[in-house]
Amino acid sequence: MISAGDFRNGVTFELDGQVMQVIEFQHVKPGKGAAFVRTKYRNVISGGVVEKSFSPTERFPTAFIERKDMQYLYHDEGLYYFMDNETYEQIPLNADKLDDNFKFVKENENVKVLSYKGNVFGVEPPTFVELKIVDTEPGVRGDTATNVTKPATLETGAVIKVPIFIDNGETIRIDTRTGEYMERVK
């Protein structure tokens, strides 16, 4: 059990049979009246965000989310297949369980599969990935304005903005949390 007074960013708890994760919290001690905890939390399974205030003494069951290292194998007819690195067991997941940042994961890449009480609800890609550019326009000589970008298609099919000096065939590092170009890989 965890009390609302112990809430911190990232803490997971059960509320009305749902798994919630604290995004923001603030302990408020007004001049008059009792203290309370103003909280913004996200439903881990549906993704909905709610703001609510709790008494610091309210208690909730702690929700333990299992993060298991698995390898992304392949995609076939709307299902994505993952293999447990220890038991070699394969599990298929529907596309609706994958976040938008999964478009940066290529086959045979290790990811973290998230589950609660045996029910898989999401996949966490690595924070940084290295991908090859397969299609982008050539940079225009003399276009030296700061922060000029152009669209580039990656080997996974994702399209991101890259600086104009990046060419086809180059490998770049991408932050999967934001989908932004980080640097060239030499």
Walking along the chain (186 residues) 10 residues at a time, the average pLDDT comes out as: 88 88 90 91 85 92 89 90 92 84 90 86 88 86 71 91 89 90 88
State residue 37's pLDDT score. Answer: 92
Q: Give dist(CA 130, CA 109) in Å, integer.
A: 11
Q: Give dist(CA 146, CA 31) in Å, integer.
A: 50
State residue 167's pLDDT score. Answer: 87
CATH of domain 128-184: 2.40.50.140
**Is there a contact between 126 and 110 (Cβ–Cβ < 8 Å)?**
yes
- Which tokens hold the place of 115? 């589950």
Q: Give dist(CA 22, CA 168) in Å, integer.
A: 42
- Which tokens hold the place of 166? 């990046």
Domain coordinates in residue numbering, the chain: 2-60, 66-124, 128-184
State residue 142's pLDDT score. Answer: 63
Q: Are strands 12-15 and 2-3 parallel, antiparallel or unpaired?
A: unpaired
What homologous superfamily does CATH list for 66-124?
Answer: Nucleic acid-binding proteins (2.40.50.140)
pTM: 0.71
Q: Give dist(CA 159, CA 134) in Å, integer.
A: 10
State residue 73's pLDDT score. Answer: 93
Q: Give dist(CA 15, CA 112) in Å, integer.
A: 24
Pick the CATH number of 2-60 from 3.40.50.150, 2.40.160.60, 2.30.30.30, 1.10.3720.10: 2.30.30.30
**Is there a contact between 133 and 170 (Cβ–Cβ < 8 Å)?**
yes
